[in-house]
Structure 1
Amino acid sequence: MFYFKCYPTFDVAGVLFDLHRSRAHHWMLRLQLLLESALGKKMALPERKLQSIEDFITRFPSAKEVMIDGTERPIQRPKDHQKQKNHYSGKKKCHTRKHLIVTDLDKRVLVLSKAREGKVHGHSAVGRAKNW
């Protein structure tokens, strides 16, 4: 349930549960089936490939109000000079990857975009995003 509430990376889940990230992924998949069986419903991960607002409305008809926000997560500094420039975040003063997130009033993550380079600003990412 922790995974579906917080969506941590498998690296973070591995640290929290004292597992290698591959084992954290393995157990999430196995325990997901058990959790779905116990709850009597399928657990849904955030949507990643919406093409338009109409797709969003069709996929989430009950979401009347949403919040769109961005998040940055640090990455290891790339060795390639061009990749270093693209991933350097002036805001965080480190190399990062960014995601846009859409949540509803119940704080469920509905949409999680593909990761973008840290240099891309939030308003630019929204304007350029073809796939949410």
Structure 2
Amino acid sequence: MTTFQLLGIQFGVSESTANDTFNYWFPLLKELLPSSLLEEVKKNSSDSEIVKEVLTEFELIIDTYEQPIERPGDYKKQKNILR
């Protein structure tokens, strides 16, 4: 998830301005744009089986490139990990 701090940096505004702008436009866009399949199921739970069937046709790909790595506190042990 993109943070409001990162959004602020990307658009040259403060974190709070990014947050305020997002929270202003999100409800308006939600009204104008069509609902996703999952949002429709929330409205009508009887369609959940249909959604499960549709979603089983897709594969989930997870990009794990930028996962945080716990490193030892000792400098020499850290240096050995990098080799």
Instruction: Give 1 or 2: higher strand fraction.
Output: 1
Tell which structure's C-alpha radius of gyration is larger. 2
Classify the TM-score, shorter chain.
0.3 to 0.5
State the structure with bigger RCO (CA 8 A, min sep 6), 1 or 2: 1
